[in-house]
Structures are given as structure tokens and as C-alpha cells.
A = this chain, B = another copy of it.
Amino acid sequence: MATNQGLKIAVIGGGSSYTPELVEGFILHYKELPVRELWLVDIEPGLRKLNIVGNLAKRMVEKSGLPIEVHLTTDRRKAIEGADFVSTQMRVGMLDARARDESIPLKYGVIGQETTGPGGMMKALRTIPVILDVCRDIEELAPNAWLLNFTNPAGMVTEAVLKYSKVKSIGLCNAPIGLIKQVSAKYNVAADRVYAEFVGLNHLHWITRIDVEGEDKLDDMLTDGYSAKNVPAREWNPEFIQSLRAVPSYYLKYFYMTDAMLEEQMESFKQGINRAEVVKRVEEELFELYANLELSEKPKQLEQRGGAFYSEAAVNLMRSLHNGSNDIQTLNVANRGILNFLPDDASIEVNCVVTKNGPLPLPLTKIPPMAKGLIHAVKTYEQLAIDAAVTGDRALALQAMVHHPLVPSVDVAVRMLDEMLEANKEFLPNFFTK
């Protein structure tokens, strides 16, 4: 380990457009998180992007005057060896795969979404074996490292690592930190004066308590509502939201407003609009900016990209683990009895105290009874899909898809699964080479 002379950090998928934000975080918080070596790793096809973003990273560090070494490589094992933290932000199959995840389900009258429903399932099938492969390297080369997983579907990926490897792993999402920032802006207080209790799974949570400076503001939030950028804004029915007594995460719109969300997706699809395509364009523009040799800081435009705060969340978590600061963060970790109807090794999204030895989940003070069924139904699908990803067992994949609450029947599942597996053939060796 590099701990004595400063930390070693490996970023798998380092060619991502998010990387400058991460680098900015390392620079800003160098004092509490003394990074000595930053290894940005990517695969061959991503080498162009890695070089562009990596060179921007080098310019940023140089400008800061800090003794951080930035390494660009396609040699994952070299990057991982002796690392203190490994973070992943990968997209197996890249944006083309995402475009398919989002469009094929629409043909069957089913929500097409990147991280939930059949689209999210395909992303899980493609991603989990790759992440577990990374874990094999970590187990061998950096057994004490923390794996910070940003790769979606982050809850399922984290659960796969918990079940199928010995790596110490934590899943991260930007939604919780985003909510805190919204509340802190709304009430004009510092973020650490906001306490929000999250209940549920990654991309399937309810917020049941929002205290601002110790005062309960839940009713306020249920009345005024809140909005988020990367999901179409929609108003909740007031009678419904008041009696729910919880703020639903914006991904819950796919479950609570399935018909309207589907109609909207269909409309966009007919008009040839496609979120994957939009993101593709935004990314291209970002990389044009990054390539500018004059640039030596994170460009403002990056903030308009959906995943704001991802890197902030990551740096916060690394700082707290490194220093044992015992502060509270919302993370994806093993359930261990918190939601008493789920198995101990299910991943859940929950407030944790981040100790030097890792996050300890805090007990929930309220669980909305309405939420239990949906949480369990989605977790059932997740467990089946994870096992399908690991084994390549088509029958398990069918069971997973049938039991996803957004899939209307066995018949649709059978046909949609066939098409989607075939479309992802290249990225599913477990399913196609055995």
C-alpha cells in the first residue's frame, strides 16, 4: 500500500467525462485525502478519450502545484496493484448499448430505461461479470483496497460484489447528495444542517424524514414538491403524496406513473429523440472542450451533465474512510437486518456512519408500509438478475425479467428477453459461449 507516502487511487473507466470533477475533488481536498498516485485506466477502444481527459487531469494537477502523479494506462492490474481506493465508472457496450436498452422495451410496450426495467437488467448482465473480474484483480493485488462503485445499476453491482467476492465494496449514487443540496438551497442552510432519512434500494428509495437544523420539514417538502433534472418533471397527485408520508425518489415515477412515463418515452422515440443520443452529443462537446490545451480546470458545462455530484460523493466517501470521520453518508451497502424483510446480504441504500473500518448502516426510524411490497418485488428481480449475470443461465434471466414489476407478462418477457440477449450477444460471454 502507498498509504505512508500518500494514497494510490485507481479509476477503472478513467476515460469518462466525469473524471475532471473527480480530479478537482482530489485537488480541493488534498489535505485530508493526500493522493500521491492517480491511475486512470480504460480499455483499448476508450484510449482516445482516456488520453484527452487524462491530459486535462495532468494540466489541472500541474496548475495546483500538488505532488499528485497522474498515470494513464490500459493495464488494469498495474493500476490496481497496491491501490488504497479503486473506483469504477464504466459503461460496458458504451452508449450504443444504452440506446438499445432504452429502445427495445418500447417495442413491447414496456418502459425503456437505463437502470430500471429490462434496460437496467441488460446493463446488469453486461456489467456484473466485468466488475467481478476487476474484483479478482483487487483480491489478488490490493486486498485491503476499498472498491467504490459508481457503475450503474449501482445497487445490483454492489450486491453482486458482496455475494461473489471478498472485496470491500460500497455503492454510490448522486441522488442522495443531490436531494440534500436541493434542500440546503431551498432553506438556505449548510448541507450538514440537513438530515434526510432514505429508505429502500438504489434508484428505488423513499425519503421519510427531512430535518433542517433539527426541525421537521417533511410536510413542507410533500406540499411544495421537489424536482430533479435527469427525469422528466411531473407533478405528484397531492392526495397520494400526502398520505404516502414520504418523498419518492424520481425513479419511482417509472412505477407510480408507468402509463404517462411510457407515453412520453413513446412520443420521444417516435420523434427520434433518445436520451442515449443526447448524452452522446453532450459528451462529444465535452471532449472537444477537454482537448483544448489551454484548459486546466473543470469546465462549467460538465455540471449540466446528469450525474452532477458523483465525484463529490466519491471524494467525500474516500475522505471519511481515510480519516475515520464518522460522518453520515447515504450509501449502498449490505442490509444486515436494517430492512428486516430482506436477506442480510441484499444491498440497500441507507444512511451510514462512515468509520475507518467502513460504513455502518443506521437503523431506520420509519419504514413506510406502502413501500415494502415494491421494495421486495424489485429486490426479488435484482437477486434473480444478479445470479443470471454470474451464471449465464437463461432460465434465471427469464425469471428475473418476468418478476420485474414493470414487465406485464411471461409472454412479453420471453420475447423481449430473446431480442435483448441477442442484441447484447457481444457483451454477454456467460450466455453465449458456454
Contact = CB atoms under 8 A, between A and B. Distances in A.
A433 interface: no
A372 B380 contact: yes
Interface string A289-322: 0000000000000000000000000000000000
Interface string A185-217: 000000000010000000000000101001000
Given A374-B377, A409-B259, A410-B240, A356 B398 contact: no
Copies of chain A in the complex: 4
A326 B193 CA distance: 11
B259 A408 contact: yes
Nearest to A240: B410
A384 interface: yes
A346 to B, nearest CB: 11
Nearest to A321: B214
A402 B370 CA distance: 9
Interface stretch (A18-26, A79-87, A334-342): A334-342
Contact of A328 (B195, B259, B353, B376): B353
B363 A260 contact: no
A409 B254 CA distance: 9
A410 B256 contact: yes
Contacts of A402: 240, 256, 370
A327 B260 CA distance: 45
Contacts of A236: 410
B258 A376 contact: no
A414 interface: yes
Given A239-B414, A409-B258, A373 B365 contact: no
A409 B360 contact: no
A257 interface: yes
Interface in A348-369: 353, 355-357, 360-363, 365, 369
A294 to B, nearest CB: 42
Contacts of A243: 395-396, 398-399
B324 A327 contact: no
A209 B259 CA distance: 38
A242 interface: yes
Interface in A209-242: 209, 211, 214, 236-237, 239-240, 242
Given A240-B399, A361-B363, 6 more contacts: A214-B357, A237-B414, A243-B396, A257-B410, A341-B342, A373-B377
Interface of A: 195, 209, 211, 214, 236-237, 239-240, 242-244, 256-260, 324, 326-328, 336-338, 340-342, 353, 355-357, 360-363, 365, 369-370, 372-374, 376-381, 383-384, 394-396, 398-399, 402-403, 405, 408-414
27 contacts: A195-B357, A214-B324, A237-B410, A237-B411, A239-B398, A240-B399, A240-B414, A242-B395, A243-B395, A256-B409, A256-B410, A257-B411, A258-B408, A259-B412, A328-B353, A337-B337, A338-B363, A341-B341, A341-B342, A353-B353, A357-B365, A369-B380, A369-B384, A373-B379, A373-B405, A374-B403, A377-B377
